[in-house]
Amino acid sequence: MTVLATAGCSTAYYDPDSPGAPGGTPRQQTTADQGAFANVEAQQSASDSSQPQPTILRQGDIVKITFPGAANLDESEQIRLDGKIAMPLVGDVQAAGLTPDQLQQNLIKLYAPQISASDVTVAIMSSSFPVYVTGCVLAPGRVLSDQPITALEAVMQAGGFDYSRANLRKVHVIRRENDTSQSYVLNLKGVLKGDDKNDFFLQPNDIIYVPEKFSWF
């Protein structure tokens, strides 16, 4: 999949057939459209989005905390809007923004003075995250997923492409991170044809925009 990460007034082209991408230095080409995606920092390479991202706990997730050596402490907790869970003996514990392994290690440290066994397990019982699909699709709107999802899969869940209007070669994924926006341009026509085996995995709250193809009136 050829992915273009738009940053300010320059566009980094990641060509899977060139020696420098992904993982190398992308070829730079300036563009006259300085107004599009202003103040954008493309910090994530194409190879980063071709793999599922690590599972990050979020508000609303339900986690099961198990203490093999002290079953009376076992808890199933939903992460509150403030990002925390309430645990016996130690009180509120930050959970949102951590991986299950990180939360597990934090709990082991917190409970070390309380229990002799240093074995704690964290499992996600329920989790879902939204992405948004708009443009030339048949059922635009919010798509909820409880597992890693690719851009193409999200479009299919939004009813699929409006093939009479959609430009499958320039599907945009807009991502907000740290008060900045990143934009990736995907050639999903190549994926549908089987020419491109690379999947672009989405992150929570990504916006997928399928533009209209150019036509002469």
Residues 15 and 88 in one domain: no
The verdict on residue 57 lying in a domain is: no
CA distance 41 to 43: 6
The residue range of the domain holding 154 is 3-52+128-210
- Does residue 45 fall inside a structural domain? yes
Q: CA-based angle 34:40:46, to the nearest 5?
A: 110
CB 134 within 8 A of CB 140: yes
The residue from 89, 105, 126 where one domain ends is: 126
- pLDDT, residue 197, reads 72
Q: Are residue 17 and residue 107 in the same domain, yes or no?
A: no
CA pair distance 205, 133, nearest whole angstrom: 10
Mean pLDDT of the chain: 78
Question: pTM higher than 0.75 for the full model?
Answer: no
* Claim to verify: residue 99 and residue 200 sit in the same structural domain: no
Q: Total domain count for the chain?
A: 2
Do the domain assignments include residue 187?
yes
Tens digit of each residue's pLDDT (9 = 90 or more) over 96-131? 999 999 999 999 999 988 887 678 999 988 877 889
* Same domain flag for 137 and 204: yes
Q: How far apart are CA 84 and CA 106, in angstroms?
A: 13
Q: Is the pLDDT of residue 47 over 50?
A: no
191: how many CB neighbours lie within 10 A of its CB? 20
pLDDT at 75 over 50: yes
Q: Which of 100, 126, 152 is the last residue of a domain?
A: 126
Domain-terminating residue out of 74, 96, 126: 126
